[in-house]
Structure 1
Amino acid sequence: MKKQLCFAAGSMAFSLGFIGIFLPLLPTTPFMILAAGCFAKSSPRFHQALLNNRYIGADLRRWESERTMLRATKKRATWVILITFTISIAILYDRHWLQLMLVGIAAVLLFFMWRIPEQKVKS
């Protein structure tokens, strides 16, 4: 039963993370991290598929082993957040309370992302 629940949660997290690629209000990375964690307990095949994915695999492996992010990944994510939220704010023209809400969500998201430790440079 626990395995099936973990698989269902992992599938839901993956789906939300995938949708988050296109919708700025759904953060992709946390959902993919959650999906990897759930699949690690329920489906080694799906877990490995995520870890071997050419787009997110390296970041997920780094998160699992070190709980860190690369500075370049943070910068790239920051640009994506800024661009997508700016577009969303522009679309919601004349809805100031929604625009302010989006600014607040973006600020919180960026705050927490930049608090994640960065990978140490190996010498």
Structure 2
Amino acid sequence: MKALYILFGTLSLILGIIGVFLPLLPTTPFLLLTAALYVRSSPRLYHWLLHQKYLGNYIRNFRENKAIPLRAKIISISLIWITILNCIFFIAPYWWLKILLLLIAIGTSYHILSFKTLK
């Protein structure tokens, strides 16, 4: 079972890292999942994850404060809307797809804004 936890934790970590750069893929939930899987499988990997310079901050801030830094909120929401609007106006050929993309942008923005802001 430990090997599966490590495997899925590593996959979740990779998705979380990709999410830093890809606006529609959330970073924090994948990193929280990685932490949960690593704590059940390998204390060494869990310790390594929490003490990473950038990734560890995501996990610690969210676990301790249930909050997202203002800079991260601004960047996330800006990238989401830039990407979605680009798709709506230049890529999506069908009206139902445009509406779906708009609803995704609204939903993810609401989700991000529903968390407290870390100062």
For the superposition of Structure 1 and Structure 2, which TM-score range results when normalised by the shorter chain?
Answer: 0.7 to 0.9
Amino acid at match of 1:98: L
Residue matched to 2:71: 72
Residue matched to 2:102: 103
- Give the TM-score, by structure 1 length: 0.75
Q: CA deviation at 1:80?
A: 2.0
Residue matched to 2:16: 17
Secondary structure, aligned partner of 1:54: coil
Q: How does 1:80-91 map to 2 (within 5 A)?
A: 80-91=79-90
Post-superposition Cα deviations, 1:79-114, rounded to whole Å, max 9, x if no partner, equal 122222233334424222222111111111111111
Count of residues in correspondence between the two structures: 119
Q: How does 1:35-46 map to 2 (within 5 A)?
A: 35-46=34-45
Q: How does 1:109-120 map to 2 (within 5 A)?
A: 109-119=108-118
Q: Provide structure 2 residue ranges, at least 5 long, that are not aligned to the other structure.
A: none
Secondary structure, aligned partner of 1:118: strand
Please state which structure has a larger fraction of its residues in strand.
2
Q: Comparing both chains, which one has the higher relative contact order based on Cα–Cα distances under 8 Å and sequence gaps of 6 or more?
A: 2
Q: Provide structure 1 residue ranges, at least 5 long, that are not aligned to the other structure.
A: none
Is the Cα contact below 8 Å between 2:10 and 2:34 reproduced in 1?
A: yes
Greater displacement, 60-69 / 83-92: 83-92
Q: CA deviation at 1:17?
A: 2.3
Is the Cα contact below 8 Å between 1:50 and 1:57 reproduced in 2?
A: yes
Q: Give the superposed CA RMSD.
A: 2.4
- Give the TM-score, by structure 2 length: 0.77
